[in-house]
Structure 1
Amino acid sequence: MKFYFSAFLWVLSSSLGGCAQDYSLAPPANTEQVTVRIKVPPELEAKKMEVMYRSATCQRTRRDAYGEPYKVDGFHGIEVQPQQQGQSDIYEAKLARDGGGACQWHLANVTFGVVHRYPEQFGDEVTFGGGGGVVVIFDNNDSPMGGADTKVDGDLTVEGGYYPLLQESFIGGHRVQLVLWRVTGGYRKYQALSAREIYFEPMIYSNYVVRSVGPMVKKDGGYRKIIYPDGSVQFDGRSGPNFNNLEAIRQAVESKK
């Protein structure tokens, strides 16, 4: 197994104890692995995975609202670059369940996903703004993105399409960001305690662009205007488009083909 160490995502403080300051990973040669595979469409690309390990041996000290100290599991973050499998559209990474080392690290969670390869195809000023992310939790702790929305037994398959959402803002400077939108622009979060195989197959519906146009000035009732691919408009204070509406529009068009 090969890890691609880029940078710590989380810095371990000197409050880690019990490891004589040696909190490096050292996975045993025969450790069980979790395989993460992503099927990447041409318009998207796989981003680096953010992998967290936890340790009950090397704990951290925190303080409560009264200033009293208490202990929590230590954590160690690395980045792992998924590797293309031959000339295919599959990208893969293998993660050690047992992180080993003096701290006896265990795999806690992984955050991965896709970004748009060419946001400028939606306009010269468009930059990528997020979406297309997945979090899988392998223990009973929350991830850096919070707790799981869905719990699964065994292996995990995550599929589904994303709509390109162009978020245009004016307050604080004009900018247009591309978000891969599903139900929200955030992360899909799962707890999969026994998973050995994680498979993610995203799609993007590039012909069904939805726009979100913010107010020019800050004022009461200055809601965002959501413009759907069929020209219909939503102006009711919701932060993003209704995913079911987008699905209905796309299905209506495709049924006529």
Structure 2
Amino acid sequence: MFNKTNAWSLSFVLLMVSGCSNAVDKTLSPPSDAQWVNVEVKNPSPYTKPFPLEVRYISHECLKKRVSGFDGSTITEPSYNVVAIPMQQGAGEHWQGKVARNGGGACKWTLSAINLGIEYTDATHLGKDLVPGTAVGATIAFDDDASRNGQFTSVQGDLHISPKYYPYIREKKIDKIENTLSLLGKEDFLSLKAEAAAVIVFSPEIDESKITRFVGIKKKMKGVYPKIIYPDGSVAPDKTLFPDFNKVDGMSIK
């Protein structure tokens, strides 16, 4: 199910590979004295699973050149190296992985960012026609390069993250026959900068008693819009693009 992360990581991956025409040695070889980041994900449901850690390394030794699309000039910039590290199941619902801060190798790779999180692997318990949708989780930046878009919140020390999520069913009527089950959170992916973190613990909570639905339209018609239906049956105003997490979170469902 790792391919489910493609939707949320597209811009992340494009940044890594855009214009990369110079071959570099991406072999990782952490030294014997390398420091490690220990990652633990607590799987909250038998219907979900942590996806493999998506780890981004950066090299300021093996620089690459690309042609600017604006004026045709040549730009020299660092190289990027993205690897997937499978999570290993430990006791019960606890999954672990570890990432070397110093990736070593000929290019002296250093840790820049980690994507981690969970996704549904089985959706039929909430609808026989449902398939798993997109993943949720966190992007942890370890340097200024990874956090340069300014959207990252800086934190000190180790991380213990416990976001809450609710089921979000998307019923598409046009161009897509699959109905998907994803998770609705305050943010799909938290953006945190934690340069000093040696331990990251991600313990999400899922409350399946409150389900939000996106109901698409069968065909495009003037004045007809998709609907977002909240767990209490209320409908979001026309042209609303995303559900209001705080509204769902504050609802009392009898």
Same fold (TM over 0.5): yes
Q: Which residue of 2 is the match for residue 127 of structure 1?
A: 131
The alpha-carbon distance between structure 1 residues 191 and 221, as it changes in their structure 2 partners (threshold 3 A), is: farther
Among candidates 93, 110, 121, match of residue 106 of structure 1: 110
Q: Is residue 137–residue 148 contact of structure 1 (8 Å, CA) maintained in 2?
A: no
- Alignment check: 8 A CA contact 1:147 1:189 kept: no
Identity in percent:
32
Distance, in Å, in 1 between the alignment partners of 2:168 and 2:201 is 25
Amino acid at match of 2:104: G
Number of residue equivalences: 237
Q: Structure 2 unaligned segments of length 5 or more: list them.
A: 1-12
Structure 2: distance between partners of 1:131 and 1:238 = 22
Runs of 4+ in 1 over 6 A off after TM superposition: 9-12
Q: Which runs of 5+ in 1 are unaligned?
A: 1-8
Residue 54 of structure 2: aligned partner = 50
Which residue of 19, 22, 26 corresponds with 1:15?
Answer: 22
Counterparts in 2 of 1:223 and 1:188: CA distance versus 1, 3 Å: farther
* Contact 2:51/2:118 (8 A) holds in 1: yes
Of 189, 207, 230, the residue aligned with 2:232 is: 230
Q: Secondary structure at the match of 2:124?
A: helix
Look up the match of 2:28. 25
Q: Tell me what 1:172 maps to.
A: 175
1:91 correspondence with 2:95: yes
- Is 2:21–2:65's contact at 8 Å kept on the other side of the alignment? no
The structure 2 residue matched to 1:69, chosen from 52, 74, 83, is: 74
Per the alignment, residue 218 of structure 1 pairs with 220
Local SS of the residue matching 1:190: strand
SS at 1:246 equivalent: helix
CA distance in 2 between counterparts of 1:158 and 1:223 reads 36
Of residues 213-222 and 101-110 in structure 1, the stretch that sits farther from structure 2 once superposed is: 213-222
Q: Tell whether the 8 Å contact from 1:149 to 1:189 is kept in structure 2 after alignment.
A: yes
In the alignment, residue 15 of structure 1 is paired with which amino acid? N
| Cα shift readout 1:76-104 (whole Å, capped 9, x = no counterpart) | 1111011112x322111110000111101
Is the CA contact (8 Å cut-off) linking 1:224 and 1:235 kept in structure 2?
A: no
Q: TM-score, normalised by structure 1?
A: 0.85
